[in-house]
A and B are shown apart, each in its own frame.
Chain A
Amino acid sequence: MISKGIVTKNGQPVFEGGALEPSDFLISAYRHFGLQYPRFYKMDNIGKLGWLANEVLLQDGFDKEKYPAKEVGIVLSNASSSLDTDIKYYETVKTIPSPALFVYTLPNIVIGEISIRYGFKGENAFFIFDDFNAGFIEQYVSGLVNNNILQACICGWVEWLEGNYKAALFLVEKDKTKDSVTFTMENLTKIYQLQNG
């Protein structure tokens, strides 16, 4: 989870960015975790946020070889779609449009960035809601997993608009592990609210 200058994993803080500007905070966190992925710098803010949240989620515990690439999916949601980047792109249209911004003027590009990083090729979708809709995410992802379309799914919320941001990602796996939390609407809501903002 990433919100208000703090990165947490399973409820525990793993990085605090102090009073850094939101976009500087993301770069600071990226460097803190020792990640080596030059493409990160080229992503828009929602791309950086979602990509980084996913790195923290999958670090130390996820074996990507465990599942076929086509059976790992990504289902994300937010409130502002890609509006933050749409506004920035619109500004460039007044002179020379920026190709590097244009490619991020869809919210599901963050799914693409995560998929490129890990080679995931399973079902994916991006939904827009006013607020985090735990009930919908639980139903939709459970449908994919229970119908054997996916063995694992990264799901949750990745929101960024004009410096206000929050990412809350969950890894859902068909097979339980010893630290598993049951995938229910109540648990999703509870974990999401651990870090308000």
Chain B
Amino acid sequence: MDKLISDLKSQIVTQLNLQDIKPEDIGDDQPLFVEGLGLDSIDALELIVLLQQQYKIKLSNADEGPKVFRTVRTMAEYITAHQVQNS
């Protein structure tokens, strides 16, 4: 899980072009949106693309988005659960 969380932080910084932020600056449980990292709705779409490109996972239910993308840890947990399902 730690390796996945670390990879995700790097991928988020690259995919969202967060040039003033280093991956290690993002806390595992730091909210990604609004008061946390300050991501917006377009970033949310880019995170969906990231899941598809890097992990071959499609978000099946859009309503799950806020829960899945709450923090890097919740993203990692979703990926872990769905990679098991897909394998």
**Residues of chain A whose beta carbon lies under 8 Å from any beta carbon of chain B:** 27, 38, 41-42, 95-96, 98-100, 103
Q: Which residue of A lies closest to B21 (CB)?
A: A38
Q: Separation in Å of the B19 CB from the closest CB of chain A?
A: 4
B49 cross-chain contacts in A, Cβ below 8 A: 96, 98-99
Q: Separation in Å of the A26 CB from the closest CB of chain B?
A: 12
Determine if B17 and A42 form an interchain contact, defined as CB atoms under 8 angstroms apart. Answer: yes
Q: Separation in Å of the A85 CB from the closest CB of chain B?
A: 14
Determine if A38 and B42 form an interchain contact, defined as CB atoms under 8 angstroms apart. Answer: no
Q: Separation in Å of the A51 CB from the closest CB of chain B?
A: 15
A95 to B50, CA, bound (A): 12
Q: Which of B19, B43, B45 contacts A27 (CB 8 A)?
A: B19
Determine if A38 and B18 form an interchain contact, defined as CB atoms under 8 angstroms apart. Answer: yes
Q: B46 contacts the other chain (Cβ, under 8 Å)?
A: yes
B38 cross-chain contacts in A, Cβ below 8 A: 38
Q: Which residue of A lies closest to B19 (CB)?
A: A41
Determine if A96 and B20 form an interchain contact, defined as CB atoms under 8 angstroms apart. Answer: no
A27 cross-chain contacts in B, Cβ below 8 A: 19
Q: A27-B19, A41-B20 are in contact. Are A96 and B53 (CB under 8 A)?
A: yes
Q: Which of B19, B42, B53 contacts A99 (CB 8 A)?
A: B42
Q: Which residue of B lies closest to A39 (CB)?
A: B40
A98 to B49, CA, bound (A): 8
B17 cross-chain contacts in A, Cβ below 8 A: 41-42, 100
A95 cross-chain contacts in B, Cβ below 8 A: 53
Determine if A98 and B46 form an interchain contact, defined as CB atoms under 8 angstroms apart. Answer: yes
Determine if A99 and B52 form an interchain contact, defined as CB atoms under 8 angstroms apart. Answer: no
Determine if B53 and A38 form an interchain contact, defined as CB atoms under 8 angstroms apart. Answer: no
Q: Which 10 A-B pairs have the closest CB atoms?
A: A99-B45, A41-B19, A41-B17, A96-B49, A100-B46, A42-B17, A99-B42, A38-B20, A100-B42, A96-B52
Q: Separation in Å of the A21 CB from the closest CB of chain B?
A: 15
A27 to B17, CA, bound (A): 12
A99 cross-chain contacts in B, Cβ below 8 A: 42, 45-46, 49
A-B contact list, 6 entries, CB within 8 Å? A38-B20, A41-B18, A41-B19, A41-B20, A42-B42, A99-B49
A103 to B44, CA, bound (A): 13
Q: B16 contacts the other chain (Cβ, under 8 Å)?
A: yes
Q: Separation in Å of the B52 CB from the closest CB of chain A?
A: 6
A25 to B9, CA, bound (A): 27
Please, what's the 1-or-0 string for B27-58, where 1 marks a CB less than 8 Å from any CB in chain A? 00000000000100011011001001100000
A99 to B44, CA, bound (A): 9
A13 to B42, CA, bound (A): 36
Interface centre among A38, A96, A103 (most CB of B within 10 A): A38
